[in-house]
Structure 1
């Protein structure tokens, strides 16, 4: 079985500027690329799971999202970061685009995207991590049986730690995750 780092996108990997859908508004959070490099060296699958309700809301198209995703994958490859999969949910129950106006099992806090990845990649969920900047990310991880749910504060304007959370760990940024895993799991980097 494989171990994975499931990552939300907006607020976890890139600065959340509300409905980010083009390259001009996409900015990686400081040191997250370095963290992804180390996590790959630690033999984790890197899987992005992201709600993209802006598609259902008519704020941008599915094609806009796919073009930005293609650019992001290309950019990360320049740093030798391979993203194993990207799952996205274009749905929202209050959407205005008929095709995507629905309640679904993939929109976090539902675990659909994580469970699909588990099956596709033979993921050991107990030894895996869900990293995100919202309680919905934590709930999705918990529902999918993820062993460690990590809430990052990088997605919030105030960057304040919440007083309450169902998260296993609360950290400032994805950038700190590799060192925290090494300390807790005594994992060495090759």
Structure 2
């Protein structure tokens, strides 16, 4: 079984913008691409897990999400990293339209996207982590036995106030990646 770092997308890899779907509006958080490279160099799979209720609300399509992910993958490759898989939840229990209006198990903190990744990529949750700017990301990971990390970018500063004392918190994905690399060198 393999170890994986699950990354929330908006507010973690890229600058938080409401209902982002256009490549031209996509802006990386400083150091995010370097962070992905560090995780890959340490032998981890990298999977993006993102709630995309903008699809449910009719603001953009699943194709828009996929195009944005192709761009993100290309950019991470150019920076010497790589993203192994993308998972997104297009549903919303109240605000969804048509088939997208449903109470699913893939919307974080639900386990759906993680379980799908586990099946497809043969992931060992005990050796895996989840990093995001919302406590729902951290909780989603911890519920499955993973290490959860909160970053202060995106919604992180607001979320930090509600965090438990035991929650691991870093300034950014890059900041965490540097610390994580250090941990590995000391083992």
TM-score by length of 1: 0.90
| Aligned partner of residue 141 in structure 1, secondary structure | helix
**Does the 8 Å contact 1:150/1:171 carry over to 2?**
yes
Deviates more, 1:44-53 or 1:165-174: 165-174
Structure 2 gap segments, 5+ residues each? none
1:85 aligns with 2:81: no
Q: How far, CA to CA, are the matches of 2:184 and 2:162 in structure 1?
A: 25
Partner of 2:49: 49
**Contact 1:32 1:175 survives alignment (8 Å):** yes
Q: In terms of mean alpha carbon deviation, does 78-87 or 49-58 score higher?
A: 78-87
RMSD value, Cα: 1.8
The 5-angstrom pairing of residues 1-190 of structure 1 reads 1-146=1-146, 148-156=147-155, 159=157, 162-166=160-164, 168-186=167-185
SS at match of 1:77: helix
Q: Is the 8 A contact 2:37 2:80 kept in 1?
A: yes
Structure 1 residue matching 2:110: 3-state secondary structure: coil
Aligned length: 186
Shift of 1:80: 2.5
Secondary structure in 2 aligned to 1:10?
Answer: coil
Structure 2 vs 1, CA of residues 54 and 81 (structure 1 numbering), >3 Å: closer, same or farther?
A: same
- Contact 2:10–2:16 under 8 Å retained in 1: yes
Task: Quote the Cα distance in structure 2 between the aligned partners of 1:164 and 1:95.
Answer: 25
**Aligned counterparts of 1:187 and 1:177: Cα–Cα separation in 2:** 15
Secondary structure of 1:140 counterpart? helix
Could you list the runs of 5+ residues in structure 1 that have no partner in the other structure? Answer: none
Question: How far off is 1:160 after superposition?
Answer: 6.0
Distance in 2 separating the partners of 1:68 and 1:161: 26
Instruction: Output one character per residue of 1:72-110: Cα deviation in whole Å (capped at 9) or x when no partner.
Output: 212222122211100000000123420211010100010
